[in-house]
């Protein structure tokens, strides 16, 4: 039987993939609370990313960047390369949405691509490559 934090992690992470702002507002705070309580750094990082995407979808660029950077820092400490790549993609998207800083977005996408290629995450690498190519 799944524990609550595993259920909330799945719901919050799925909401990120679907760009479901309502689900992010509903599940990400609960994931953050449980992950903090249990000192579960991986799930806490996933919560930060989910909250960052939620802020981005709400047009709250500064809060989104703060949360995404917190996620990236935790994922980096954990050596979670796939999660690092996913978070770098979100930072790239943030730079396209908010400040329209294509140069910075391109840097994030390129870093994400390197992370995905390093672990041979081909579908993620292909999506990230397509995002990079769309900026040319």
> What's the Cα-to-Cα distance from 11 to each of 8, 36, 56, 88, 116, rounded to whole Å?
5, 17, 18, 21, 23
Kindly report, residue by residue over 27-64, the tens digit of the pLDDT. 999 999 999 999 999 999 999 999 999 999 999 999 99
Cβ partners under 8 Å of residue 128, min gap 6: 85, 89, 109, 112, 113, 116
Q: Determine what percent of the chain is predicted with pLDDT higher than 90.
A: 90
pLDDT(73) > 50: yes
Residues counted in the chain: 136
Considering the domain architecture, whether residues 36 and 65 belong to the same structural domain is answered as yes
Instruction: Give the number of domains in the chain.
Output: 2
Considering the domain architecture, whether residues 69 and 9 belong to the same structural domain is answered as yes
- Where a domain ends, among 62, 79, 96? 79
Considering the domain architecture, whether residues 11 and 73 belong to the same structural domain is answered as yes
Which of the four pLDDT bands, split at 50, 70 and 90, describes residue 1? Answer: very low
Low-confidence winner among 2-11, 22-31, 52-61, 76-85 (lowest mean pLDDT) = 2-11
Considering the domain architecture, whether residues 64 and 103 belong to the same structural domain is answered as no
pTM across the whole model: 0.94
At 2 the pLDDT is 52
At 97 the pLDDT is 86
Q: Which tokens is 88 given?
A: 């770098």
Low-confidence winner among 3-7, 24-28, 125-129 (lowest mean pLDDT) = 3-7
Range of the domain at 47: 1-79
Q: What is the CATH number of the domain that holds 5?
A: 1.25.40
DSSP characters over 74-116 = HHHHHT-HHHHHHHHHHHHHHHHHSS--HHHHHHHHHHHHHHH
């Amino acid at each position: 039987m799944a524990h609550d934090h595993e259920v909330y992690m799945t719901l919050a992470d799925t909401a990120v993939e679907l760009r479901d702002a309502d689900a992010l507002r509903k599940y990400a705070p609960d994931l953050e609370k449980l992950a903090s309580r249990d000192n579960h750094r991986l799930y806490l990082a996933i919560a930060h990313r989910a909250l960052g995407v939620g802020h981005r979808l709400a047009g709250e660029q500064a809060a989104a960047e703060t949360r995404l950077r917190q996620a990236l820092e935790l994922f980096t400490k954990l050596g979670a390369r796939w999660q690092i790549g996913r978070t770098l993609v979100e930072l790239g998207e943030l730079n396209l949405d908010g400040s329209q800083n294509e140069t910075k977005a391109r840097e994030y996408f390129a870093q994400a691509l390197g992370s995905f290629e390093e672990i041979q995450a081909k579908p993620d690498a292909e999506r990230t490559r397509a995002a990079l190519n769309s900026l040319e």
